[in-house]
Structure 1
Amino acid sequence: MTLYHFGNCVALVYVPFYLTYKYSGLSEYGAFWKCIQAGGIYVFTQLCKMLVLATFFPANDGGGQGGMDFVGEFLKATVELADLGGLYLVLMGIPGRSHAKVLTAGVGWAGADLLLSRFLFLWFGARGVEFDWMYIQKSFDSNISLVQHVTTATLVWLWSRHDLSRSLLPIVTVLLLLCSYKFLLMEIFVHATISSPWIELLVRAVLTLCLAVTTLQIYAGFAQSIGIY
């Protein structure tokens, strides 16, 4: 039974990545190694972020007694803006059509995020003697992260375009900031409501879906206006 649940977790994580790579056209462009390169830049970006966090935001052993430190958490969340710079470097190094660029960057970034933050947790945890629904939640969360990273890559690509309408630039900028501070907003929500993990997962999925749909509408309109598909 444990192996059965472990297989479900692997399927929930692996199948969406495979379907995205296979049926989005990335396999036709031979973008596998570009995804690997995007993952390498992800690793470098995370190391830089860890260095900044360890240098300027050391752990406070005496904190946590007076509630959530909103200012400190906001400053720490600001470091997440480095991901936007990393995605920009990935996008600038990928030739080809726009949809291939953003999908390659998003899938590579999400794949590296999965390997570094969830793979070992699922591999050793979900194969344990006792099964916990926490592993299913992490599997769903990896799918949400895939959509989130592709959305962020699309927004970075739109923001980097010099022919983007000036009326759309503020909207794209706000969406980028929401993507960067989404985890902080989720922490504030959890701290304020003390909700269950399933409700937190549902709220994260709804927020990600709203960001993705809005980004898709902007991208589709922009692509049609300049004649790219």
Structure 2
Amino acid sequence: MTKPGKFIVVEGLEGAGKSSAIATITNWLQQHQLKVVSTREPGGTPLAEKLRTLVKQIDHNELLAPETELLLMYAARVQLLTNIIRPALSRGDWVLADRHDMSSRAYQGGGRQLDEQLINNLRSAVLGNTRPDLTLYLDIDPAVGLSRAAARGELDRIEQEQLAFFIRTRQKYLQIAATEPDIVSIDASQPLAAVQQAIVRALDNHFSGLANG
């Protein structure tokens, strides 16, 4: 019987350095000769990528209700889980995700201030028993992160939200991270080398004895 793979997620605000973190994790997985499937949210399948465009595009001719945004996120997520993540884990592959469910809890729950029970009901319906084995949350001051994001180029619809939105989002991220044991918070304001070392430490500690098993 094939041993199920592991599911690693990278989370954080805009400008937290998720791309660099994913590169570090990918290198760690390759060093351990593990097959990795990389995903992103929203997106990761042809239909989910179309939903990503709907969520992020700026020029809607009508208000995108917060509840609509939430439902689009979970619609994209269930496509990704069904078509990519669960099959990969069943094959024994390791899945590395740029965002997952914690983003909805933080952005729509914290930032948009949507009802927590609504989100929990969606989580239960969509996720089932599929949960990350490890989530690395890259924590950064929202003002610093937004400055980094702006330096990369044009901001999408969510990135153009007011600073207060991202402050609420970060508070929710920190609240979740403080209460769930499979989430490791990393100070993303450190120099890149220090962040990379913290990521590798977290991987070594969390998957000790598992990576080659």
TM-score by length of structure 2 reads 0.38
Higher helix content, 1 or 2:
1
Which of the two has higher C-alpha Rg?
1
Q: Which has the higher strand share?
A: 2
TM-score by length of 1: 0.36
